[in-house]
A and B are shown apart, each in its own frame.
Chain A
Amino acid sequence: MASDWNDIPDEEFRSTFREWVDQNCPAQLRYMRKQRPLFNEVAEWYHALAAKGWLAPTWPRQYGGMGLSAAKHMIYVEEWGRLGCPRIPDHGIGLVGPLLIQHGTEEQKAHYLPRILSGEHVWCQGYSEPNAGSDLASLTTSAVLDGDEFVVNGQKIWTTLAHCANWIFVLVRTERDAKVRQKGITVLLLDLTSPGVRVRPIENLRGEADFCEVFFDQVRVPMKNLVGKVNEGWTVAKSVLGHERIFLGAPTRPEYAIARLQRLADARGAFEDPAFVSRFARLRLDLYDLGSAFERYAKVLRAGGELGADVSALKVFTTELYQRITEEMLAVAGEEARFADDLAAGDVEIDAMNLFLDSRSPAIFGGSNEIQRNILAKAVLQLPG
Chain B
Amino acid sequence: MPELMLDDPDGTLVMLRDSVAGFAERFPGAKAMREKRGLGGATDPLIWSAMAEAGWIGLLLPEECGGAGLGLREQAVLSEALGRALVSEPIGSASVFAATLIGGATPGAERSRLAAGIVSGDVVAVPAWISGAKPLVVHAVSDNLALSGEARFVDAARVATDFLVVAQDAQGGMLLSVPADLDGMTMSERAGIDGGAIATVSFSDCKVPTDRVLSRANSSEDLLRQAILHTRLALAAELSGLASKALELTIAYTSDRVQFGKPIASFQAIQHRLVDMWIEADLAAAAVGNAVEALQSDDSEAAQLAVLAAKARAGDAAFSICRRAVHLHGAMGYTDECDVGLYLKRAINLNAMLGQPEQLRLEFVERESGVGRGRTYG
Q: Does A12 contact B (CB under 8 A)?
A: no
Contacts of B192 in A (CB 8 A): 338-340
Determine which of A269, A336, A370 lies in contact with B352 in the assembled complex, contact meaning CB atoms within 8 Å. A336
Stretch of A77-85, A164-172, A197-205, A228-236 on the interface side? A197-205
The reply to whether A335 and B378 contact each other, CB–CB distance below 8 Å, is yes
The reply to whether A340 and B335 contact each other, CB–CB distance below 8 Å, is no
Determine which of A157, A158, A269, A353 lies in contact with B377 in the assembled complex, contact meaning CB atoms within 8 Å. A269
Chain B nearest CB, measured from A372 CB (Å): 11
Chain A nearest CB, measured from B88 CB (Å): 12
Chain A nearest CB, measured from B231 CB (Å): 13
Determine which of B191, B261, B330 lies in contact with A341 in the assembled complex, contact meaning CB atoms within 8 Å. B191
Determine which of B153, B261, B330 lies in contact with A364 in the assembled complex, contact meaning CB atoms within 8 Å. B330
The reply to whether A205 and B341 contact each other, CB–CB distance below 8 Å, is yes
The reply to whether A341 and B190 contact each other, CB–CB distance below 8 Å, is yes
The reply to whether A338 and B374 contact each other, CB–CB distance below 8 Å, is no
The reply to whether A338 and B153 contact each other, CB–CB distance below 8 Å, is yes
The reply to whether B330 and A205 contact each other, CB–CB distance below 8 Å, is no
The reply to whether B269 and A373 contact each other, CB–CB distance below 8 Å, is yes
Chain B nearest CB, measured from A214 CB (Å): 14
The reply to whether B356 and A138 contact each other, CB–CB distance below 8 Å, is no
Q: Does A147 contact B (CB under 8 A)?
A: no
Q: A135-B259, A205-B335, A365-B331 are in contact. Are A272 and B269 (CB under 8 A)?
A: no
The reply to whether A340 and B259 contact each other, CB–CB distance below 8 Å, is no
Contacts of B193 in A (CB 8 A): 337-340, 353
Docked CA distance A339–B152 (Å): 12
- Range, interface on chain B: 35 or more
Q: Does B348 contact A (CB under 8 A)?
A: yes
The reply to whether A364 and B331 contact each other, CB–CB distance below 8 Å, is yes
Q: Does B323 contact A (CB under 8 A)?
A: yes
Docked CA distance A345–B348 (Å): 20
The reply to whether A334 and B378 contact each other, CB–CB distance below 8 Å, is yes
The reply to whether A360 and B352 contact each other, CB–CB distance below 8 Å, is no
The reply to whether B378 and A268 contact each other, CB–CB distance below 8 Å, is yes
Within 8 A of B (CB), among A268-318: 268-270, 272-276
* Given A339-B193, A368-B330; 5 other pairs, CB 8 A cutoff: A204-B335, A272-B374, A363-B327, A364-B327, A370-B269
* 27 pairs of residues in contact across A and B, judged by CB atoms under 8 Å: A133-B259, A133-B330, A135-B261, A205-B326, A205-B344, A268-B377, A269-B377, A272-B375, A327-B323, A331-B378, A333-B378, A334-B359, A335-B130, A335-B352, A335-B354, A336-B378, A337-B193, A337-B348, A337-B349, A338-B349, A338-B353, A339-B191, A339-B193, A360-B333, A361-B331, A364-B327, A374-B269
By a beta-carbon cutoff of 8 Å, the part of chain B in contact with chain A is 130, 153, 190-193, 198, 258-261, 264, 267, 269-270, 323, 326-327, 330-331, 333-337, 341, 344, 348-349, 351-354, 356, 358-359, 374-378
